[in-house]
Amino acid sequence: MLQVLYLIFNEGYTATSGPDLQRVELAAEAIRLTREVYRLLPEDGEVAGLLALMLLTDARRESRSTDGVLVPLAEQDRDRWDRTRIKEGVELVTGALPRGPAGPYLLQAAIAAIHDEAPSTEETDWTEVLILYKILDRIAPNPMVTLSRAIATAMVHGPAEALALLATLDEDKRIAGHYRLDAVRGHLLDLAGEHDRAREHYQRAAKLTLSMPEREYLLRKAAHRP
């Protein structure tokens, strides 16, 4: 049930296809339903974690696009983030963590809380983020988790180590042909100064995504060279 609610939320937060980045009504409905589940099961850490994850993620909604184009986390105006939702999400995380052990949703919520409470990308506690992603990748291995872990790895240890981690996904059929693999590889190659190779992966990712806002963002990344 929690997985279905999270899938509904994700489709609302980042639509898989079409002209709009978000389907706000879907995300709102997922949050509403998860609140109901939490009301019935307030001591369940994963229910609390999922609600917290949704709130902490949705708190950034207003700053995620400009003129219909995706704005990545590092470039978002954090003054536009919903501090009420962040406060509620953080309280859910801090209330559930001591009851442990933490499951996948609670771990993801803890990561989201670190991002939401940081004043900037540079001041984010990336070491703690990486530790949590390593735990998450161990207890609930998933290629999307590994993608996020690769980004955190780049922030802590540099792009070379992150690219080596990303290479472990190349034979993973669960993510083969997914645009996010190319998008993250492009980002890491940019960080490594390999801008021509980065452009190739941004262009490939743009061709693979069905989301017009994400495609426009990726094409802009491909076109912009230092």
Mean pLDDT calculated for residue range 5-25: 91
Task: For the chain, give the mean pLDDT.
Answer: 95
Instruction: Tell me: do 112 and 35 sit in the same domain.
Output: yes
Instruction: Tell me: do 204 and 152 sit in the same domain.
Output: yes
Instruction: Tell me: do 119 and 152 sit in the same domain.
Output: no
Instruction: Tell me: do 114 and 148 sit in the same domain.
Output: no
Domain with 159, as residue range(s), is 144-226
184: in domain: yes
Q: Give the total number of structural domains in the chain.
A: 2
For residue 194, give the amino acid letter: E
Listed residues 68, 93, 124: the one ending a domain: 124
Q: Is pTM beyond 0.85 here?
A: yes
Predicted confidence at residue 224, as pLDDT, reads: 81
Instruction: Tell me: do 96 and 151 sit in the same domain.
Output: no
- Going by pLDDT thresholds of 50, 70 and 90, the confidence category of residue 160 is very high
Which region among 31-35, 132-136, 176-180 has the lowest average model confidence (pLDDT)?
Answer: 176-180
- Is the distance from CB of 202 to CB of 179 less than 8 angstroms? no
Distance CA 134, CA 107 (A): 10
Predicted confidence at residue 114, as pLDDT, reads: 98
Residue 191 has pLDDT above 90, yes or no: yes
Instruction: Tell me: do 188 and 91 sit in the same domain.
Output: no
Instruction: Tell me: do 151 and 120 sit in the same domain.
Output: no
CB-side exposure of 59: number of CA atoms within 13 Å?
A: 25
Instruction: Tell me: do 112 and 180 sit in the same domain.
Output: no
